[in-house]
């Protein structure tokens, strides 16, 4: 199975209102709750593709219980670690008249040192059955800055390949541990390296220890810098929709490529097609299977002729 870890998982709540009146009292027309967080989105995509996956991370309090129940309803196996704190919520207030959304992000519980130690033991046990591990998203308050570095080393001690989707200090601190793949987006890549050119920046992350770097460039597709070569994969068309979760769909495809040892151009085509299919689906973690099928053969993958290519 593929283990996905979301250290800062959330219960994503959506409120629909006729029109949001700031400073007023607003009647919510409908509410929806869904387990959220980047690793959970990756697991949803893997599960929809028929692959075995296990969700882990922390869950606590009433929101944690609701999150677990949502995963059970989606038949997503989870081994979340119970904590005393309350899992954070994110509230998206959708203004039906204006067609826009206001987001409120709870801070989430701090992770005490004991919980962090328990999590490492817990992941250690789960890794005995894993074919790959995906470590995704921001770190909760209290987690050590090199959390992903330690987790990558733990995975490698089990000979399990590790994928890291993080940014800033958490990404930089992971590189020395040699993650098999990191997947920043264009902004995260520039922020982590100080380099404006994405190919040069991806190369810098490889130099710093990453086994391979795939950067998501939004509508411009993906670039990959790997030991086997460098490529640019472009979607055949632009789809309107919800970009949240598109990067997670790419991570799911790239992790499967790693597990199945698919040639890079094929992996990247699949990642672009799944990303676009995720944009076409309204909820993060879902993808449109028709769009996925239709685009898969149409993605254009070109070698990058920089000094790093081939």
State the minimum distance, in angstroms, from the CB of residue 66 to a copy of itself. 5
Q: State both tokens at 138.
A: 């921001």
Contacts for 155 with CB less than 8 Å, ≥ 6 apart: 127, 130, 133, 161, 162
Q: How many amino acids of this chain bind a copy of itself (CB under 8 A)? A: 30
Interaction of residue 17 with a copy of itself, rule CB under 8 A = yes
Interaction of residue 19 with a copy of itself, rule CB under 8 A = no
Contacts for 3 with CB less than 8 Å, ≥ 6 apart: 53, 54, 56, 123, 126, 127, 130, 132, 133, 134, 160
Q: How many CA atoms lie within 13 A of 257 on its CB side?
A: 23
In the bound state with a copy of itself, the residue whose beta carbon lies nearer, of 14 and 306, is 14
Site for a copy of itself in 102-141 (CB under 8 A): 102-107
What is the C-alpha to C-alpha distance for residues 196 and 208, in angstroms, rounded to an integer? 17
Interface region with a copy of itself, contact rule CB under 8 A, candidates 45-53, 61-69, 124-132, 234-242 = 61-69
Binding mask 88-107 for a copy of itself (x = CB under 8 A): ---x-x----x-xxxxxxxx
In the bound state with a copy of itself, the residue whose beta carbon lies nearer, of 103 and 261, is 103
Q: Which of 229, 310, 274 is nearest to 44 (CA)?
A: 274
Binding mask 258-297 for a copy of itself (x = CB under 8 A): ----------------------------------------
233 vs 7, 158, 245, 303, CA distance in Å? Answer: 30, 32, 18, 9
Interaction of residue 194 with a copy of itself, rule CB under 8 A = no
Interaction of residue 63 with a copy of itself, rule CB under 8 A = yes
State the minimum distance, in angstroms, from the CB of residue 96 to a copy of itself. 14
Interaction of residue 24 with a copy of itself, rule CB under 8 A = yes
Angle at 152 between CA 223 and CA 186, to 5 degrees: 25
State the minimum distance, in angstroms, from the CB of residue 216 to a copy of itself. 19
Interaction of residue 1 with a copy of itself, rule CB under 8 A = no
Strand stretches in 49-161, DSSP E: 53-59, 81-82, 88-95, 100-105, 132-136
Binding site for a copy of itself (CB under 8 A): 15, 17, 20-31, 61-63, 65-66, 91, 93, 98, 100-107
């Amino acid at each position: 199975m593929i283990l996905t870890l979301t250290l800062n998982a959330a219960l994503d709540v959506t409120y629909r209102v006729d029109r949001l009146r700031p400073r007023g009292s607003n009647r919510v027309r409908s509410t929806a709750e869904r387990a959220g967080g980047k690793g959970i989105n990756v697991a949803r995509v893997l599960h929809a593709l028929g692959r075995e996956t296990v969700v882990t991370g922390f869950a606590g309090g009433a929101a944690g219980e609701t999150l677990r129940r949502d995963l059970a309803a989606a038949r997503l196996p989870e081994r979340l670690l119970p904590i005393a704190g309350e899992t954070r919520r994110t509230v998206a207030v959708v203004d039906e008249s204006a067609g826009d959304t206001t987001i409120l992000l709870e801070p989430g519980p701090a992770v005490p040192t004991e919980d962090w130690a328990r999590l490492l033991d817990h992941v250690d046990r789960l890794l005995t059955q894993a074919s790959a591990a995906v470590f995704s998203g921001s770190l909760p308050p209290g987690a050590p800055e090199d959390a992903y570095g330690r987790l990558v080393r733990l995975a490698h001690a089990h000979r399990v390949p590790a994928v890291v989707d993080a940014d800033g200090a958490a990404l930089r601190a992971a590189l020395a541990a040699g993650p098999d793949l990191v997947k920043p987006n264009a902004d995260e890549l520039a922020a982590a390296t100080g380099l404006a050119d994405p190919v040069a920046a991806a190369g810098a992350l490889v130099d710093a220890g990453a086994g391979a770097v795939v950067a998501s460039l939004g509508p411009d597709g993906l670039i990959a810098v790997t030991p086997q070569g460098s490529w640019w994969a472009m979607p055949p068309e632009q789809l309107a929709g919800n970009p949240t979760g598109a990067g997670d769909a790419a991570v799911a495809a790239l992790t499967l490529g790693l597990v199945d040892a698919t040639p890079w151009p094929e992996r990247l085509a699949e990642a672009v097609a799944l990303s676009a299919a995720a944009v076409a689906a309204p909820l993060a973690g879902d993808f449109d299977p028709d769009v996925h099928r239709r685009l898969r053969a149409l993605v254009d993958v070109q070698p990058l002729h920089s000094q790093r290519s081939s």
